[in-house]
């Protein structure tokens, strides 16, 4: 397992957001976490990134216990989250935003960093065209691409995506999911959080259902796609 979460509990003050959740992500796969509003999906990703404190349980990455490893160090270890709601730097250019994604990397990696710029521009030709544009003036879809591109610039082994399809027109949603599969095909493991359960399940190998802070199902994604109770609850019947 690349990532193993055991019995993880997380609180916001007295509110328990996650209640002893356990899940695993295998190297090379796309895994997804689906669930209703407020189920704890974003909290799970934030805890994996190191942005939320763990009250109980543990996280292991590449076999190492990272439960108390600070977030910036997790980036260096190979975990990177593309922010929900396009958390890019709106006043900076596209190029500078991408450069910020590589800030934890050493100068001696210059060649590898240049190759990662090429990788991002090949995945998102639009970003290449818009290198000098101020990020905040781009469309929602372009900003979403930039958020993913910036995360890729840290050269992650595990890419965490929080609602990458949020607010996008259907054509762009399809394109983003194709790109996620392409990124995965290049060797990056992906953990995806989505309200768009059909899309998420159709690109994933493994899926977890989160309900009010608890994992209630864990199965191959295609099993959940064909499951009547899941279809009724999350796929619109
Ligand atoms: P959504 O898709 O609506 O973002 P989610 O599944 O990602 O939902 P979380 O955002 O992880 O859910 O929220 C899980 C629970 O934690 C919810 O009950 C939410 O109200 C609570 N919560 C989240 N952030 C905070 C916060 N900063 N302070 C207090 N409670 C919070």
Question: Residue 47 in contact with residue 8, Cβ under 8 Å?
Answer: yes
Helices (H), the chain: 41-49, 71-77, 94-101, 110-123, 125-129, 140-152, 170-185, 197-203, 221-225, 228-234
Distance (Å) from CA 105 to ligand 1 centroid: 31
Distance (Å) from CA 41 to ligand 1 centroid: 8
| Distance, CA of 128 to chain centre | 22
Ligand 1 binding residues, C-beta < 6 A = 12, 15, 17, 35, 37-43, 195
> Which residue ranges make up each domain of the chain?
1-78+194-237
How high is the pLDDT of residue 166?
A: 86
Of residues 34, 88, 66, 59, the one with CA closest to residue 216: 34
Among protein residues, the one whose CA lies closest to atom 15 of ligand 1: 17
CATH number of the structural domain 1-78+194-237: 3.40.50.300
Least confident of 31-35, 41-45, 233-237: 233-237
Least confident of 35-39, 213-217, 227-231: 227-231
pLDDT interval class at 42 (50, 70, 90): very high
How high is the pLDDT of residue 236?
A: 62
Q: Give tens-digit pLDDT for 117-136.
A: 999 999 999 999 999 999 99
How high is the pLDDT of residue 237?
A: 47
pLDDT interval class at 111 (50, 70, 90): confident
Atom of ligand 1 minimally distant from the CA of 43? 11
Span 7-35, average pLDDT: 97
Span 140-144, average pLDDT: 89
Atom of ligand 1 minimally distant from the CA of 162? 7
Tokens standing for 82?
């593309």
Q: Name the 3-class secondary structure at 179.
A: helix
Report the percentage of the chain scoring pLDDT > 90: 78
Q: Give tens-digit pLDDT for 76-99.
A: 999 999 976 567 899 999 999 999
- Ligand 1 pocket mutation, candidates 32, 38, 53, criterion most atoms within 8 A of CB: 38
């Amino acid at each position: 397992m690349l990532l193993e979460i055991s019995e993880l509990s997380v609180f916001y003050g007295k509110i328990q957001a996650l209640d002893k959740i356990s899940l695993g992500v295998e190297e090379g796969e796309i895994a997804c976490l689906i669930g209703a509003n407020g189920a704890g999906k974003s909290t799970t990703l934030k805890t994996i990134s190191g942005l939320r404190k763990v009250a109980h349980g543990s996280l292991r990455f590449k076999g190492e216990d990272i439960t108390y490893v600070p977030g910036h160090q997790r980036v260096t270890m190979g975990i990177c989250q593309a922010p929900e709601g396009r958390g890019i730097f709106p006043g900076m250019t596209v190029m500078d935003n991408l450069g910020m994604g590589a800030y934890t990397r050493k100068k001696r990696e210059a060649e590898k960093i240049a190759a990662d710029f090429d990788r991002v521009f090949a995945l998102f030709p639009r970003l290449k065209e818009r290198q000098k544009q101020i990020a905040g003036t781009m469309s929602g879809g372009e900003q979403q691409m930039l958020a993913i591109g910036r995360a890729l610039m840290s050269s992650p082994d595990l890419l965490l995506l929080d609602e990458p399809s949020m607010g996008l027109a259907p054509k762009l949603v399809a394109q983003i999911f194709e790109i996620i599969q392409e990124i995965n095909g290049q060797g990056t493991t992906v953990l995806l959080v989505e309200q768009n359960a059909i899309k998420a399940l159709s690109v994933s190998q493994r899926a977890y259902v989160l309900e009010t802070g608890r994992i209630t199902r864990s199965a191959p994604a295609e099993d959940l796609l064909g499951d009547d109770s899941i279809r009724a609850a999350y796929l619109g019947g």
